[in-house]
Structure 1
């Protein structure tokens, strides 16, 4: 049975979808068509796709002999308190990829993502930012929010903590940090770096298309349907139907969610608030510099 040997584990809104798409185009990789199965995030059952190991491994059933790199991308693993340990226990030789971005941009983009999935209901990010203490006390939580801790943007932006947690579990040579700026400015260079890391031949036939552009929801009602966890009885029915049809990678909910959103440019933050975010995350940027060995001072400007 085919088993994954690489994981893109985070960070959310840092280019993981694009990198996953580019890697999936390589002739020697096998990636499920459905990103983010979240199977190993056992502490977030409402967000899991496959619920059994059999269903999870079925995602990789199509891998052939030439597919020497078999992997998946689940950004929830970075936030999970158990997923990284589960990967280490089940796939000890796996190679992990973590993408990072300017913390101020990352949390703003994350807020937009939560808005599009009805996990956030305060459209103005500055207002949502100032609600964090109230929400930490359990107030002003959106009725459809599946993970209230995701509303704590100050913590979400502390990527260095998650990276250090990963490095406590995996040796450094099995963890590759990728800066979003590099993927944006030189996608072929980043792809070459990652394929070298995964011991794949370099490949120059990738379509570096725009992936996962900012989206906004069309209907809150449909969003509620697509984000609400399935009842246990329906979960079993859907799993059985997928096995019967051989469509393990197909998700009608993901299709509906996609149809219920449209691309829209993200509004620019007010300069004063943007500077507030950069000031708040200045020490975080220093931590990321230490972890990457890179000069990221422009993230503080």
Structure 2
């Protein structure tokens, strides 16, 4: 079975879902059935799998090499085969050894976004999906160990990847360039992973257009397991096919949603977050020899 020849290693909330969609269009690129198998992030201890069997059965590519290989079994004669596990950059300490072990010659690229904007987008996603109450605290009240904040500390992960794989095998792209000229950036990615740059993707459709709930309590009720949903499924739900129940749920969620453009960070909150990232941005700027002063404003 084929193995990936390239890895989109990060970072979450930096346009990677859209980039993955654009790569799907290219006739010389093959992609796995699961965008983020996450097998390369870290090794899961057998007892962790055993104690959470039902959870990991739904995420089979996550812990089995054989199942990871099977994720790409439909790829045949494509010039490039891709893995879109975008948390590999964040989990660099465990992912780098696994990449060296399983796909040592793969091309690896990341897309970086203004860390404050990335963190806020991540925050809105957690708010929308009712994930983890600690992660839906206001960003400026979160612990420095919060994943939402730490994912924007790019310097150590980038330095480790580049020193391990070298500039011929590892490349850094920027979300700003994707926004300003998506076709040009995609052609740069195509060139890096070794497919034709003559192909021009349709980048008119953006993926992951975010919304946020009008009422968080209603949102949690609709999205998370709870006694009311259990009662509904066991009574009224038995009279409706699953597709109809899902359509009703989606309609209710949409009615309780508003555009993410309706919320923003206050100048005071932004300044707190800029101070949090300032030292890391300055170190990354020197390391990459790229002007990142816009990330300090």
Which range, TM-score by smaller chain? 0.7 to 0.9
For normalisation by structure 1, the TM-score amounts to: 0.75
Identify the residue that residue 187 of structure 2 maps to in structure 1: 192
1:20-99 to 2 correspondences below 5 Å: 20-43=20-43, 48-50=59-61, 51-65=63-77, 67-80=78-91, 81-99=93-111
Q: CA deviation at 1:189?
A: 0.9
SS across alignment from 1:77: coil
Partner of 1:110: 122
Give matches, 1:1-301, under 5 Å.
1-43=1-43, 48-50=59-61, 51-65=63-77, 67-80=78-91, 81-121=93-133, 127-132=138-143, 149-150=146-147, 153=149, 155-208=150-203, 209-216=205-212, 219-221=219-221, 223-225=223-225, 259=250, 264-266=259-261, 267-301=263-297
Shift of 1:123: 8.3
What is the TM-score with the length of structure 2 in the denominator?
0.75
Shift of 1:129: 2.4
**Cα deviation 1:204-256 (Å, max 9, x = unaligned):** 4412111111133674245335xxxxxxxxxxxxxxxxxxxxxxxxxx9xx99
Q: Is the 8 A contact 1:192 1:202 kept in 2?
A: yes
Q: What is the DSSP-based 3-state SS (H/G/I as helix, E as strand, rest coil) of the residue aligned with 2:89?
A: helix
* Alpha carbons 2:127, 2:136 under 8 Å: kept: no
Q: Give the deviation of 1:64 after TM superposition.
A: 2.3
Structure 1 residues 131, 276: CA separation in 2 closer, same or farther (over 3 Å shift)?
closer
SS at 2:207's partner residue?
coil
Distance in 2 separating the partners of 1:24 and 1:120: 31
Is the Cα contact below 8 Å between 2:35 and 2:85 reproduced in 1?
Answer: yes
| Cα deviation, residue 158, structure 1 | 0.6
Change (3 A) 1:223 1:78: farther
Q: Secondary structure of 2:3's match?
A: coil
- Show structure 2 runs of 5+ residues with no match: 50-54, 226-242
Structure-2 change in CA distance of 1:123 and 1:54 (3 Å):
closer
- With 93-102 and 203-212 compared, the bigger mean Cα shift is at 203-212
Distance 1:291 1:263 in 2: 40
Q: Is the partner of 1:97 in helix, strand or coil?
A: strand
Q: Give the root-mean-square deviation of aligned CA atoms.
A: 2.8
- Are the structure 2 counterparts of residues 219 and 288 from structure 1 closer, same or farther at C-alpha, using a change threshold of 3 Å? same
Change (3 A) 1:18 1:49: farther
Given that 1:11 and 1:159 are in contact with CA atoms closer than 8 Å, whether structure 2 keeps it comes out as no
Any unmatched runs of 5+ in structure 1?
137-148, 226-251
Give the helix-richer structure, 1 or 2. Answer: 2
CA contact (8 A) 1:114 1:120 kept: yes
Q: Offset of 1:13 from its aligned partner? A: 0.9
SS at match of 1:78: coil
Query: Residues 43 and 107 from structure 1, CA distance in 2 versus in 1: closer, same or farther, beyond 3 angstroms?
Result: farther
